[in-house]
Structure 1
Amino acid sequence: MSKKPNSKLKALRVEHGYTQIDLAKKIGMPVSTYIRKENGYTEFTVSEIQKYALYLIKQQKKFFYRQSYQMYNRNSIKT
């Protein structure tokens, strides 16, 4: 079987600072299965890709919310 690694998903994972173990746990699959899928031995299902994307979106929202909250607190006028 020829494999075609999921380099875009791997790049996205690495860009966000996650390990294969982190994402396997977050999307609810065994680490060995995640590694096989990321390395292209088996394909991700649509449902798994949706979980992957939703997790990263949630993490981005937390980041931006935290940044906005910190900016608000710095700019607040204390009386």
Structure 2
Amino acid sequence: MTTQPAYSLFQENQDIIVRVNKEIFSEKQLTKFLEYLILENISSSSKLTSEKAEELASEIDQKIWKSIESRILEK
């Protein structure tokens, strides 16, 4: 009995083609993993420091609060 591998990789021009055994990985699992890889790639090539990210997050929080403050305090 020959067992099918969990995955196989092929390279074609600028593409990497991944063939996955659907009995081992669900589409949802695979999509989640690929999204993780994309985020890792963005993160590794980003020049954003954690300090700058915190600063931007704080700025966003302040702008959101200013836009909803009156509606929340009216209640």
TM-score normalised according to structure 1 size: 0.36
More strand as a share of residues: 2
Compare relative contact order (CA 8 Å, sep 6+) and give the higher one, 1 or 2. Answer: 1
TM-score normalised according to structure 2 size: 0.38
More helix as a share of residues: 1
